Every structure is written in C-alpha cells, then in structure tokens.
Amino acid sequence: MEGNLRPVLETDVERIAEIEESSFPDPWDPEMFRILARQSGRALSTTGSLIEMMVLTHRQEIVGYAVWEQKGGEGHLINLAVAGEHRSQGFGRLILEEVLVQMRKRGRTHATLEVRESNSIARHLYERAGFAASGRVVGFYGAEDAIIYSSNL
C-alpha cells in the first residue's frame, strides 16, 4: 500500500463529494470542500482557527482525505474518510499519521476528535494511533453520542 498526500485541488471536489456521500449519514456540503480547494487546502475560519485539508491519491485516484482545524495548541480532526472500495488496506492509518505529522509541524501539542460511539473501525484506528477516549457528548449526532478522543502530539 502506497499513496501520496497533497493539498486538495478544485478538480478533486467531485470525487471527494462522492466519497463523502457514501461514507456519512450527514455528509458535508461539497461547497465546504470547494472553499478549501480554492485556497489550496488552507483557510482561516471566522473564529480565527486554521483549517487544512489533504487528499490521498493512489495510482492517480483519490482514495481518501482529511480535514483538520487548529487553534493554539490544539489540532482537531474534523473529517476523515476512505473510499469504500479502498478500505481496510491501511489508507486510513496513512492519512491519520500524516495529519498528526502536519499538526506537530505547526507546533500543536495535542490532538482531539469526535467519533460516533458505534463506529468501531474508526475508534480502533484512533486507539492504535495513540488516542484515548476522554469524554462523551450526549446526542452529538442526534440519536447517537460522540466519544471524544485525545492524544498528545
């Protein structure tokens, strides 16, 4: 398994939206990805946090992506997905590890994320990467709670 991580481009948005739609019950509006792509995968939010996005390509095809937000010492993973047909081949892990490298490069000291309680594959991925469950947000996803994970960087 090998892949290349690079900042998102506008021409990637259609494929990303496809992966997003098939990965989440509450997918992001493609416009969110487009806004990031127009700024080469790096944008400032209205609250002053830095939002970054990278895509993973494998044999010229986009197989997954991640979006993360950073402010002060914290890096917060807000989106991570791998295309259905490319899952369970180590791509999720590859993307997550690169996100953590990028956070460290920017001097962040800890990383956080939320995950659906029932998402055992993602939870396993995060635990293997050194994250530990540190809280719960009741009803974060409507009918389902979020488990908060944290890790030092």
Ligand X SMILES: CC(C)(COP(=O)(O)OP(=O)(O)OC[C@H]1O[C@@H](n2cnc3c(N)ncnc32)[C@H](O)[C@@H]1OP(=O)(O)O)[C@@H](O)C(=O)NCCC(=O)NCCS
Residue closer to ligand X by CB (options 76, 108) is 76
Work out how close the CB of 129 gets to ligand X at its nearest, in angstroms, rounded to a whole number. 9
Both tokens of 21, joined, read 């739609």
Work out how close the CB of 28 gets to ligand X at its nearest, in angstroms, rounded to a whole number. 12
Work out how close the CB of 104 gets to ligand X at its nearest, in angstroms, rounded to a whole number. 20
Instruction: Name the residue number minimizing CB distance to ligand X.
Output: 92
Residue closer to ligand X by CB (options 49, 89) is 89
Query: What does each C-alpha distance from 146 to 32, 118, 134, 139 come to in angstroms?
Result: 22, 9, 11, 7
Residue closer to ligand X by CB (options 13, 96) is 96
Which residues sit at the interface with ligand X, rule CB under 6 A? 23, 80-82, 87-93, 115, 119, 121-122, 124-125, 128
**Are the C-beta atoms of residues 86 and 19 closer than 8 Å to each other?**
no
Work out how close the CB of 63 gets to ligand X at its nearest, in angstroms, rounded to a whole number. 8
> Given phi > 0 = left and psi -120 to 50 = alpha, else beta, which region is 12?
alpha
Q: Where are the alpha helices (DSSP H) in 1-85?
A: 13-23, 30-38
Residue closer to ligand X by CB (options 98, 110) is 98
Residue closer to ligand X by CB (options 62, 115) is 115
Both tokens of 91, joined, read 């791509």
**Are the C-beta atoms of residues 54 and 5 closer than 8 Å to each other?**
yes
Work out how close the CB of 65 gets to ligand X at its nearest, in angstroms, rounded to a whole number. 10
CA 42 to chain centre: 14
